[in-house]
Amino acid sequence: LVSRENHPERSTVHVGGVPIGPDTVTLIAGPCAVETHQQTLDAARMAQAAGAVLLRGGAYKPRTSPYAFQGLGEAGLRILADVREETGLPIVTEVVNAQDVELVASYADMLQVGTRNMQNFALLQAVGAAGRPVMLKRGMTATIEEWLMAAEYIAQRGNLDIVLCERGVRTFETATRNTLDVSAVPVAQRLSHLPVIVDPSHSGGRRELVLPLTRAAIAVGADGVIIDVHPQPEQALCDGPQALVDTDLGELAQVMNDFPALL
C-alpha cells in the first residue's frame, strides 16, 4: 500500500489544511515537551516567526529514564488545543500507547509515532484506525524496509495519510545523539510514495548542529523538517540542549526561504 510500485505519483498529506509533500518543504516546530501554557505559546510564536506552519509538542513523552519528566498527559493536550486556537497552527503530538489513541486523536491534527514505538504493532494499527494523519518516525535501529513495513501496518487499517520521519539512527559515533541518515530520504522516496521529512533536532541532539542538518535535509530533497524550539532551553524539562533559541530563528527562516536555491 505504501510502495511506489503501485502508486508512482508521490503523495501529499494534508494536516489541518497544511500540505506535506513533494512541492514544498514544510516546517514543523515547537517545544519537545509541553510544560506550561506560557512556554508552549512562546515556543509556538517562535516557531511561527521562523515560518513554521505546524506546531509540534509532546504531552506524552517516551523517556529513557522512568524518573524523567513523562509529559503532562491530557492537560498537555488541552494546552496544545488552546495554543492552536491562539496561533492558528495545527498540532502534531505523540501518542505512546494504543489505549490513548482515541483521546490524543480527539485533540491532535496529526499523531506522531516515535522511534521507540516504530514496531509497536498494536499502536500502529490503532493509529491506522484513528482518522488522523500519522507521522511515523524511523526506529533508531530499523532498516528502511522495516520502517516501510511499519507504515504498511498503518495503511492496512485504511489510513494512507502517513508521513515518514528520518530522525537519525544508532551508530558507534558519540559526538552526535544519533547519526542522521540523509540517504534514507531519497531511498525511502524511491521505494514509497509517502512524504519523507527529517528531524535534525533529535538526530544531532545539539543546537549548533540543527541548522547544518536542516540544510542537509533540504539538499537531499526532504519534504519537510521538524525542529525543537524553546523560549528558555536551560530550564526545559526535556531535550533543552537541542532546542533552537530566539537568536537562531532568523537563520532558520533564511534557510527555509532559500530552499529552492539549495535544490
Look at residues 109, 91, 74, 101 and name the one whose alpha carbon lies nearest to residue 31. 91
| Residue nearest to ligand PEP according to CB distances in the complex | 114
Position among 58, 204, 224, 240 found at the interface with ligand PEP (CB under 6 A): 58
**Considering just the CA atoms, what is the radius of gyration of the chain in Å?**
17
Q: Which is nearer to ligand PEP, 22 or 62 (CB)?
A: 62
Asked if 115 interacts with ligand PEP (CB under 6 A), we say yes
Q: Give me the least distance between CB of 142 and ligand PEP, in Å please.
A: 11
Sign, CA dihedral 193-217-185-43, equals negative
Q: Which is nearer to ligand PEP, 3 or 97 (CB)?
A: 97
Q: Which is nearer to ligand PEP, 114 or 200 (CB)?
A: 114
Q: Which is nearer to ligand PEP, 235 or 257 (CB)?
A: 235
Q: Give me the least distance between CB of 187 and ligand PEP, in Å please.
A: 18
Instruction: Say which residues have a Cβ less than 8 Å from residue 254's Cβ, sequence separation at least 6.
Output: none
Q: Which of residues 87-106 bind ligand PEP (CB under 6 A)?
A: 94
How many residues of this chain interact with ligand PEP, rule: CB under 6 A?
10
C-alpha cell at 108: 491532535
Q: Which of residues 17-46 bind ligand PEP (CB under 6 A)?
A: 32
Q: Which of residues 161-200 bind ligand PEP (CB under 6 A)?
A: 167, 199
C-alpha cell at 77: 493536550
Q: Which of residues 204-263 bind ligand PEP (CB under 6 A)?
A: none
Sign, CA dihedral 215-220-222-226, equals negative
Q: Which is nearer to ligand PEP, 42 or 228 (CB)?
A: 228
Strand 26-30 relative to strand 224-228: parallel, antiparallel, unpaired?
Answer: parallel
Position among 84, 202, 207, 230 found at the interface with ligand PEP (CB under 6 A): 202
C-alpha cell at 257: 526561504
Distance CA 55, CA 108 (A): 10
Is residue 73 helix, strand or coil? coil
CB half-sphere exposure, 44, CA atoms < 13 A: 27
Residues that bind ligand PEP (CB under 6 A): 32, 58, 62, 94, 114-115, 137, 167, 199, 202
